[in-house]
Amino acid sequence: MPNTNTTLTAREVEEIVQRTVEQTLIRLGVQVDDPLEVQKDLQHLREWRESMEQVRRKSFLTAVTVITTGLLGALWVGIKSYMGGQ
């Protein structure tokens, strides 16, 4: 039976981890040779996400404003007709 106890040096472990991370990033489509481009891409994604969050917030506030205005208008018409106004 062969001996399966192998001890890796710190350097070997570091190389294995580095290759594994590099291969994983490449499979995800990350350009590992140009970290500045990756940082620019990530910054662009952050800006896109933040702008989408702003659009979502503003859309919600607009919807609430439209609904509130409609309800207040309906209430005003109802009060006017109840009071006998034209």
Q: Domain span at residue 34?
A: 10-82
Q: Is 2 contained in some domain?
A: no
Q: pLDDT category, 6, cuts 50, 70, 90? A: confident
- What is the distance between the terminal CA atoms of the chain, rounded to a whole angstrom? 102
- pLDDT (tens digit, 9 = 90+) per residue, 12-40? 999 999 999 999 999 998 888 998 998 99
Quick check: is 1 in a domain?
no
Q: What is the pTM of this model?
A: 0.55
What average pLDDT does the structure give for the chain?
A: 91
Pinpoint the alpha helices (H) of the chain.
10-27, 35-82
For 50-59, how does the pLDDT look when each residue is reduced to its tens digit (9 = 90+)?
999 999 999 9
Within a domain: 19: yes
The number of folded domains in the chain is 1
> Residue 68 domain-assigned?
yes
Look at 85 and 44; give whichever has higher pLDDT. Answer: 44
